[in-house]
Chains A and B, each alone.
Chain A
Amino acid sequence: MTRRALVNSACVVLAALFVLPVYWMASTALKPDADIVSHPPVLVPWPLEFGHFARVLGDGEFWAALRASLTVTVTVVTAGTLVALMAAVALARFTFRGRTGFVLGLIIVQMIPGEALFIPFYLMLRETHLLGRLPGLMLVYLSITVPFTAWMLRGFVASIPVDLEEAAAMDGATRWQTFWRVLFPLVAPGLLATSIFAFITAWTEFTYAYVLINDPRNYPLPVYIQSFIGRDDVDHGPQMAVAFLFTLPVVVFFLLVQRRAVAGMSAGAVKG
């Protein structure tokens, strides 16, 4: 075998190792129960059996969890992006007392480990009667996402030449018009990037959701998925079906944006 062929086959083997868990999740979801618990395991699910998906989609608890997850995620993404954009404009376009301090604060709070904070969050939500309810979880997620998204958006806003806005102002545009017609369209890609980040965080977060939502009626999807584990015999078919439905949107997102994300990361790390 030539060196190139060796490298190529190593790539394929490694790729298989990375995909195997995801493949096993999907294939389990698509097998009849008898094939899930069988010796030897059935490697290729055939004929495809959609019964587990049907069961999940016919389960009221699944829809309640999906609704809870969507409510939390959409609220956090919308409110978080708006709040972060306001902060970013303030930080990138104005000089004022305490600006450096604020930026420093944004960076520092990002470093506080979430796992250390669930005790005070738990107590705070208990005292305000928000424990087990979604608004409490939304507030917590906002506090996690806003520091990072504001800091990220600040960079985007700062990279847009201020001359454009000045030119518009010169032509008689009001502050609002300058913002909506000039700055907003230019910062749109940045907004997209930050909302994807907020989406992934709010959609996939497990620790806080598990600790703070103890009411089964309000379980978001991550907690709903783990609730399969506690049962006496884990129902692997439906569980993998839910896992599949939960993961699909994220994987599609990543396949679309990964090139940019990696390019951005390396540009930030290597330059200088």
Chain B
Amino acid sequence: MIRKTRVLFATRFAEMAEYRAEVIIWMLSGTISLVMMLVWMAQAAAAPGGQIGGYDGSEFATYFLSVWLVGQLLVVWVGWELDFMIRQGTLSPRLLCPMDPMWAEYAAHVAERFVRIGPMLVLLAIFAWLSGASFTREWWAYPVALGLCILGFTCRFLYEYSLGLLAFWTESSTAFSEVAWLLYAALGGLFAPLAFYPQWVQNIAVWTPFPYMLGLPAQLLAGKATLGQAGFGALILFGWVVLFWFVRLAVWRLGLKKYGAVGA
């Protein structure tokens, strides 16, 4: 089991390291939080007192750079991968392996994080220096935020996987992945800290996993969330992970029965 994991991870890491130039471009193209950072910073600078909603320019910079960082760790493209594999029939040889193809995809995503992390920290340092962001000095916030990121990533991976599997029925499932991204972006806090949203949006958001996977770890890094909030968020995320685990399993089993219509 351990050997299997190691081989799986090592091969996927080698594969992802091939794409290192692309990984940097993918990182640079996820700019929405950076765009929002610039807009909010300019707004804070123009506002009386230099503050909006209790955030000054450098606090906005810290929040949005943290969101950018967390967002980089949560990147998931498995929906597109499955859409392609099912449509083209390249899923078939994978089914012959004595292992659920999900694990190969999961390993690829995790391996990609290790390719990403070096250039990511360099970019983060440059952005932080340019924008005057300052991250929290509480050491515990970093491991806790990382833990939330791992949970959040797993959660996102599982629901994107389930959505990708819809390609068994619809020929193409990328539009569903796009809708999921929009929810994630809107409710996760990509455009503003969640507290800035209208109350009714906040009331909906707290029931979804999104604020806990993106906004909460970012707030921890910015020194604006407590350990208690992190624990509460982790519990809710864990619940969603368990739920999506079973959803994924159910969709997979139903889908396999349906599979065979295309490319096989």
A and B: bona fide binding partners: no
Residues of chain A at the chain B interface (Cβ within 8 Å): none
